[in-house]
Amino acid sequence: MWSLTFGGIKQIAFCATVTFILNRVVVVSAQDFGYEGQHGPQHWAEDFKRCSGKFQSPINIDELSVVEKEFPDLEYNNIDVIPKRVHMGNNGHTVVVKMKFEKGREPSMMGGPLERKSQYQFEQFHFHWGQNDTVGSEDLVNNHAYPAELHVVMRSLDFKDFQSALGQDHGVAVLAFFFSIDEEDNPNYEEFVKSLSIISGKGMWITLQNLLPLSKFLSWDLVSYYSYVGSLTTPPCAEKVVWIDFQIAIPISEKQINHFRELTLHDYHLRNNFRPPQPINDRIIYENVPRKFVQLGYSAIPFVNADNAAEKCSKGGGIVLILVCYVINSLFTCTKF
């Protein structure tokens, strides 16, 4: 009688354990998110309440409605420092890149639309892309989508870690860079895109061999930008995020961007992994007007990286020469020089 009772207890315990595990699986599944079907963006708010907030991202930036503003200069620190290690992974929703630096050598920034006197430190960067060149970016400009978008996530050092900065006023900033299709490969992304096939499955990570500084992954123009206050574009959709959308896109070839699209063959979560634009409501979208160019009265031509600047000049040297001649002519009122 005792053995039967003991066996029954063991069976009950086993069933209870299985039930608990299944319930946990259901909970985890319900908290997952994707970009289509029952876990798509239109259902995110069912599990993540903040995704229905008033100031969500991404948005459509209408250039006719932006407000020009003379922000303080953005100050970039250590963005040309070569990291000790670079890890790239597939988290099931995007490709994430984390960089390890020597202490005190982490990339950081301050100024611009960021909280005054606060320093923001690099956390990670990741990507959003579409199945073809007509879709992919999260923020739009004049209802135009770019084929992909890079997000560089920065945390205010006023907070001890990223989680404590989430949802706090000026706690998190996102630097957004669009991609545009170019005939030539982008050498800074060559090893990167070829390594994507190695992380085709969720949870897979690799260490990149060719160590490049953060600046190599960004646009050559770090002065011309739009800015607004929004949210994370993935759950939990925490708000009060400062967005800085740079106007000059990063060039990438069709062949290179197709390496991102090949990841969708393995996981539907990575198919068109961008959130649709959200209502702007009563937010103001600003466009930075660099101070030094406001004083001179000329359009900004802000080359900020020597290597990239040389490359741009070689492609458009004639235009730059004409502009330089125009400036000199205006300053010295000479007709010939």
* Residues catalogued as catalytic: 93
What does residue 81 show for φ and ψ, rounded to 5 degrees?
-80, 130
Contacts of 122 (CB under 8 A, 6+ apart): 99, 106, 107, 108, 152, 153, 154, 214
Beta-bridged to residue 152, according to DSSP, are 125, 175
| 258: its two tokens | 């197709």
CA distance to 320, 326, 330, per residue, from 336 (Å): 18, 11, 11
| 124: its two tokens | 């990670």
Residue type (1 letter), 176 = A
Cβ atoms of 146 and 180 closer than 8 Å: yes
CA–CA separation, 222 and 75 (whole Å):
10
R_g over Cα of the chain: 24
CA–CA separation, 175 and 152 (whole Å):
5
3-state SS, residue 198: helix
CB count in 10 Å sphere of residue 32: 13
CA–CA separation, 89 and 167 (whole Å):
25
Among 98, 82, 208, which residue's Cα sits nearest to residue 152?
98
Among 107, 105, 30, which residue's Cα sits nearest to residue 76?
107
Asked if omega into 58 is within 30° of 0 (cis), the reply is yes
